[in-house]
Amino acid sequence: METQAITIALVGMLGIGAQWLAWRTGWPAIVLMLAAGFLAGPAFHLIDPEAAFGDMIEPMVSIGVALILFEGGLSLDLRELRHAGDGVGRLVLLGVPLGWLFGSLAAYYVAGLVWPVAVLFGGILVVTGPTVVMPLLRQSAVLQRPATILKWEAIVNDPLGALCAVIAYEYYRLRADGATMIEVVPPMIIAAVLAGLIGYGAARLIAWSFPRGAVPEFLKVPVLLTAVIGVFVFANRIEHEAGLVAVTVMGIALANMNVTSLRSIHPFKQNVAVLLISGIFIMLSASLDVAQLSYFEWRFGLFLLALLFLVRPATILLSLAFSTVPWRERLLLAWIAPRGIVLVAISGLFALRLTELGYGDGNILIGLSFAVVVATIVAHGFTIDLVARWLGVKGSSRPGLLIVGSNDWTIALARQMAALKTPVVVVDASWQRLSPARREGIPFYHGEILDEATEHNLDLSPFQVLVAATENEAYNALVCNEFAHEIGRDSVYQLGDEHDRHALPPSLRGRALFRSGLGVEDVQQKLRHGWSFRRTRLSDEFSFEDAQQALGEDSQMLLVLRKGGAMHFFTHAAAPQPQAGDTIVSFSPPQEELARRDAGKPAASPRKTREQAA
């Protein structure tokens, strides 16, 4: 009991610690988690999941993978296929069999595995996995179409790869009894179809019951998680790994049934996914037996190279031949294929089964699967930015500003930020209010920001900061609250003093812009009296204190723009520490007013004056 508790605590600390370190350094999280698990397990013997949990590891990992695939399915919207449907369809219908074929050939001829093990491992290699693809896409800011194709491939092909492995295993298991491929494959396909129908039926039931109040709000998350686990286990009773198909279909179906109740569940399911990913990776790598690594030989190194430079490119280029996907995007897709949890989990499961069938190479699969995970994540995780930039399929890498509400003040702010090379877009439901943005060539989106369709018609990935500045404070608070879980509570801002006793509670609104808490009417009135946005570049000779003196005590500091484009706002609760090389954006009174105020004061030095920008 005590050993199990210690193991659970260490797994949690190592997993979340690795995720935090990845956030701080920008390194791929899975690499850090694998390293942490290996050091805690085989290297220093701090934890031994097999000794602590025994036979429970397999069902724990299987259910964790099922929940992760369900969460991934919830992120897929069929409307995305309008732009990427051709590529996604080809990678499912053609990419899976081609990847299975080429992977099997590489495992047999290059790695030297016996043919049954090579065919089974080739099926598992079809998977990529949302646990590694999604973080890479967030890290690299790839254009929308190739990013959508990679996301769909990662989520849809995971259960299909597992089914390929099941088909291979069942064939070689039943071949001793004289079974043929015709006798094995059709029942598998039927089982997969039945599993998909079970998942779809469960999604329909939830979509019917949740909006009608059949399930109380406090039970919706427990009911949903229990339903996913139940569907997974029930479908697996029909056929091994068919449960992965069921939960993936269930997630995709729910995502496209417009169940408004699920929006409140999104933050919880994302937190659960992070915990599951962290725990599973730590446990799997900590369970790795050093003896399994002793099977690794030089041929396996050649196999990894063949997987990176032959198998994946051939699969993608043949699957997407004569498609509408541009060549540059095809080349990016041909390079990016990181493997993750599903590969390791399924390899560990079938390694034991192959050994029981008398295939000695089954023991190699666990160590080889870890090698594939590490090789693909290191190769793709550290090069995706470089390759995307080289191919010209990379979006803006500078953090963007999303402004909700079109008025004179927000247009002036957008104009200033655009001049500083910050990606910016103004969103408003009124075409008339957007006319100044249209005249000045400022990027805009005409539509309701809270409408679900906006998530698919407007690519929100470049924007890491949101400013809600409509005339309705309650609406601004609603917008900030809606996007807080996506962008971050500390990255959504609105006008108004959050400490005003008439204002909405801070827990319901965004962070207040300006240290003085100016409201919408305040900034609009100042704008009519000639106030404007000014940018001031700091240097070693021209400090923040110098800038404050030059701008005047009435000026309102809005934000600090770092060299890399990161924005840090001045609020009532916190103020950034400007440094040399930063740019200060302020909202300041007209020059004549500053001149009158400074009349009779000593003039600033010529050097300092040159440091100021209009």
pLDDT of residue 614 exceeding 50, the answer is no
Under 8 Å between Cβ of 55 and 339: no
Predicted local distance difference test score (pLDDT) of residue 603? 46
E strand or H helix that includes residue 14: helix 2-25
80 or 400, higher pLDDT: 400
Predicted local distance difference test score (pLDDT) of residue 525? 92
Percent of the chain at pLDDT exceeding 90: 37
pLDDT digits (tens, 9 = 90+) for 115-156: 888 999 999 999 887 778 877 787 777 888 898 899 889 888
d(CA 255, CA 447): 21
State which of 216-225, 258-267, 529-538, 604-613 shows the largest mean pLDDT. Answer: 529-538
pLDDT of residue 606 exceeding 50, the answer is no
Long-range Cβ contact pairs of 604-608 (< 8 A, separation 24 or more): 604/546, 604/549, 604/550, 607/541, 607/542, 608/541, 608/542, 608/546, 608/550
pLDDT of residue 52 exceeding 80, the answer is yes
pLDDT of residue 611 exceeding 50, the answer is no
The 3-class SS string of 187-206 reads HHHHHHHHHHHHHHHHHHHH
- List of residues 6+ apart from 342 with CB closer than 8 A: 65, 69, 127, 129, 158, 161, 162, 244
Using alpha carbons, select from 499, 508, 473 the residue that is nearest to residue 571.
Answer: 499
If you average pLDDT over every residue of the chain, what do you get? 85
User: If DSSP codes are grouped into helix, strand and coil, which group holds residue 162?
Assistant: helix
Q: Of 282-291, 382-391, 502-511, which range is least confident?
A: 502-511
Sign of the torsion formed by the C-alpha atoms of 301, 306, 308 and 312:
negative
482 or 330, higher pLDDT: 330
Predicted local distance difference test score (pLDDT) of residue 335? 94
pLDDT of residue 610 exceeding 70, the answer is no
Predicted local distance difference test score (pLDDT) of residue 247? 93
Torsion-angle region of 394 (φ positive above 0: left; ψ -120 to 50: alpha; else: beta): beta
Per-residue pLDDT averaged across 254-265, rounded?
74
Give the count of beta carbons closer than 10 Å to the beta carbon of residue 226: 11
Predicted local distance difference test score (pLDDT) of residue 613? 42
Predicted local distance difference test score (pLDDT) of residue 95? 93
pLDDT digits (tens, 9 = 90+) for 426-440: 999 999 999 999 999
pLDDT of residue 166 exceeding 80, the answer is yes
Residue 457, Cβ density class (10 Å: 0-12 exposed, 13-18 middle, ≥19 buried): exposed
Hey, what domains does the chain have and what are their CATH numbers? 59-391 (1.20.1530.20), 400-611 (3.40.50.720)
pLDDT digits (tens, 9 = 90+) for 261-308: 666 666 666 777 788 888 888 888 888 777 666 666 778 899 999 999
Per-residue pLDDT averaged across 473-490, rounded?
86
Predicted local distance difference test score (pLDDT) of residue 439? 93
Predicted local distance difference test score (pLDDT) of residue 607? 43
Per-residue pLDDT averaged across 457-473, rounded?
86
Percent of the chain at pLDDT exceeding 70: 89
Under 8 Å between Cβ of 231 and 246: yes
* Rg of the chain in Å (alpha carbons): 28
Residue 301, Cβ density class (10 Å: 0-12 exposed, 13-18 middle, ≥19 buried): middle
pLDDT of residue 594 exceeding 60, the answer is no
Report the alpha-carbon angle 365-371-374, nearest 5. Answer: 140
Sign of the torsion formed by the C-alpha atoms of 95, 101, 105 and 107:
positive
Looking up tokens 């300092």, which residue turns up? 608
| Helix, strand, coil percentages, rounded to 5, for the chain | 65, 10, 30
Predicted local distance difference test score (pLDDT) of residue 498? 63
CA distance to 376, 514, 540, per residue, from 309 (Å): 11, 52, 48
Per-residue pLDDT averaged across 583-607, rounded?
66
Under 8 Å between Cβ of 196 and 208: no
- List of residues 6+ apart from 198 with CB closer than 8 A: 231, 234, 235, 246
Predicted local distance difference test score (pLDDT) of residue 604? 46
- List of residues 6+ apart from 247 with CB closer than 8 A: 66, 67, 69, 70, 73, 199, 228, 231, 232, 235
pLDDT digits (tens, 9 = 90+) for 524-565: 999 998 999 999 999 999 999 999 888 888 899 999 999 888
pLDDT of residue 465 exceeding 80, the answer is yes
Q: Parallel, antiparallel, or unpaired for β 444-446 and 556-561? A: unpaired
Residue 355, Cβ density class (10 Å: 0-12 exposed, 13-18 middle, ≥19 buried): middle
Per-residue pLDDT averaged across 467-480, rounded?
91
The letter for the amino acid at 186 is P
- List of residues 6+ apart from 205 with CB closer than 8 A: none
Chain-centroid distance, C-alpha 117: 33
pLDDT category, 61, cuts 50, 70, 90?
A: confident
Predicted local distance difference test score (pLDDT) of residue 612? 43
Predicted local distance difference test score (pLDDT) of residue 1? 61
